[in-house]
Amino acid sequence: MAKVNVKVCLGTTCFVMGSANLQELIELVPRKYGDLVDVAGSPCLGLCSIDWEFSKAPYVKVDDEVIKEATVEKVLAAIDKKLGK
């Protein structure tokens, strides 16, 4: 099975609007899912500049799925869905 790929946007906008508090995912996800999921912080994913959408930051990408106004819970739920849990 292909690994699920998680990217936490750490661009300035996402960081200020909340991804500072999503950094815990980078430690939490490997502990929870082991080898099934790759997770990393990422430079700006460019999602905040589309159509003035800074207010929907922070963004996280789980494979191709974009999570707006991301929270730890939303991201974990998306990973679970990908893994068919």
Partner 1 sequence: MSINTPNKQTSHLKREILVRLIRAYLGENYEEDVRLIPYKMRPQGSEVPYRCCIHKERAILRDRVIAGLGFDIEEAEDSQLLSELATKATKREKPEEHPLTLLQTACNECVPARIHVTDLCQGCVARPCESACRFGAIKVQDGKSRIDHEKCKNCGLCAQVCPFQAITKIIVPCENACPVGAIAKDEDGLTKIDHEKCISCGKCVSACPFGAVHKKSQIIDIIKNIKAGKKVIAMIAPSIMGQLPCTPKQLKQAIIDIGFSDVVEVAVGADITTKNEAEEFKERVIEGKAPFMTTSCCAAYNELVAKHVPEIKQYRSTTETPAYYTAEMVKHDQPEAITVFFSPCVAKRREAMQNPNIDYVLNFEELGAWFVALNVQVSDCEESEYNQESSAEARNFAVTGGVAAAVNAMLDESEKAQPYVINGLDKASIRDLKKFAKNGKCELGNLIEVMACPGGCLGGSSTINSYKQATKQLNAYVESSPAIKDVVNTK
Binding mask 26-55 for partner 1 (x = CB under 8 A): -----------------xx----x----xx
Q: Cα-flanking dihedrals φ and ψ of residue 12, to 5°?
A: -60, -45
Measured between alpha carbons, how far is 23 from 36 in angstroms, rounded to an integer? 19
What letter represents residue 13's amino acid? T
State which residue, 43 or 77, has the beta carbon closest to partner 1: 43
16 binds partner 1 (CB under 8 A): yes
Q: Cα-flanking dihedrals φ and ψ of residue 11, to 5°?
A: -65, 165
Tell me if residue 66 falls in helix, strand or coil. strand
State which residue, 36 or 66, has the beta carbon closest to partner 1: 66
Give the angle 38-57-39 at the CA atoms, nearest 5°: 5
Among 6, 22, 75, 76, binds partner 1 (CB under 8 A): 22
Residues binding partner 1 (CB under 8 A)? 10-13, 15-18, 20-24, 43-44, 49, 54-55, 69, 71-72
